[in-house]
Amino acid sequence: MVTETLNPPASLVDLQALATRIARRDQDAPALSPKAQALLKALLATPERVGLSTISQLAEQHAVHPSSLTRLSRALGFTGFKAFQALFREDLSGSTFYSTRAERLLDFGETPAMRPDAAQHRALWEQEMSNLAGAVEGLDDAMLERAAEGLATARRVQVIGLRASFGAAHYLAYYLDYLREDVQLVSTTAGVGVEQALALDADDLVVGIAFRPETRTSVDYCRLAVEQGARLVALTNHPRSQLAGLTDCRLVAPAEGPFFFNPMSSLFLLVEMLLSRVAVRLGDAAVASIRRREALIARLGVE
């Protein structure tokens, strides 16, 4: 590696552009070793992980010594790893999260359409299968049971998941409402604000769903719910997300892959697991509740 440059990248987009110039061996780019280039490419492929992990965790994940990350950071012009990591953390909370990911995938030829060695759909399919497997293999069964117990026994359940997470939140709330009473989907589209959490207490449970980049309103709502004493179940794609930090009951849905946005298959799998556990816990009461809902649908002629 070369000594540090005078002008380090000012953003993750700039860092990505620098990586491209390094790969082309442009004269104005640092001359990194093949191993350093491979490490940089691997880090750029998982920006969420870089932004949320410690240097030791990243070193272990990439099978290198932590000093390799420090040397790479300095070779790119940063004062150290923390300054390098700051770009990734800023990107996680910025408005360019998805465009940066899309540009990175296109620049490194990682989108399915740019993979001539496989069918266009296969790369996404393989990664989604890996996400599903990761969700199951990393599942803490005791935590899943605890979450299901809370969903079955809480006085009332609120589910919040906005923007990209709204589909999963609606799915969970809709079918949970088949199984038990007092289920509410929290949605800003209905003019609902964080003040709704003020009615919660220790007898209530909130399910918060948020993937990186997390929606601030969802996190704020869950934080207020916890302050009111309510229990919180977090569904997230990273164990060190802001949402996960609010509770000790969290379920993680891996969301890696060559996709411009957040893959959601593993999230819906966890939701289905929760609903199945709740149905089993409620037993005959769940069946009776479903039958009442079906009878109402039939009476109203809802199709």
- pLDDT by residue for the chain (303 residues), tens only, comes to 444 445 788 777 788 888 888 988 888 888 899 999 999 988 987 777 788 788 998 999 899 999 999 999 999 999 899 889 888 877 665 544 555 555 544 444 444 454 445 555 666 667 777 878 878 888 899 999 999 999 999 999 999 998 878 999 999 999 999 899 999 999 876 555 667 788 899 999 999 998 877 778 888 899 999 999 999 999 988 777 788 889 999 998 887 655 555 677 889 999 999 999 999 999 999 888 888 888 888 888 776
Q: What's the CA angle centered on 300, arms 297 and 303, to 5 degrees?
A: 60
Q: How many CB atoms lie within 10 A of CB 195?
A: 9
**CB of 162 closer than 8 Å to CB of 217:** yes
Q: What is the CATH number of domain 12-110?
A: 1.10.10.10
pTM beyond 0.75: the answer is no
- List Cα–Cα distances, 243 to 66, 226, 252, 296, in angstroms: 28, 11, 11, 37
Task: Find the length of the chain.
Answer: 303
Please give the pLDDT value at position 148.
95
Fold of 135-300: Rossmann fold (3.40.50)
d(CA 169, CA 235): 10
Residues carrying CATH 1.10.10.10, the chain? 12-110
d(CA 255, CA 193): 28
Please give the pLDDT value at position 177.
92
Pairing of strands 231-236, 250-252: parallel
Residues carrying CATH 3.40.50.10490, the chain? 135-300
At 191, list the tokens: 């003019």
d(CA 150, CA 127): 32
Rounded to 5 degrees, φ, ψ at 210 are -155, 125
Strands (E), 50-196: 156-160, 183-186
Q: Is 79 exposed, middle or buried (0-12, 13-18, 19+ CB in 10 A)?
A: exposed
Nearest to 168 by CA among 92, 99, 263, 102: 263
d(CA 210, CA 216): 9
Ramachandran assignment for 78, one of left (phi > 0), alpha (psi -120 to 50 degrees), beta (any other): beta
Give the DSSP H/E element, type plus range, for residue 232: strand 231-236
> By three-state DSSP, how is residue 68 classified?
helix
Q: How many CB atoms lie within 10 A of CB 126?
A: 14
d(CA 60, CA 251): 23
Please give the pLDDT value at position 93.
56
d(CA 5, CA 30): 7
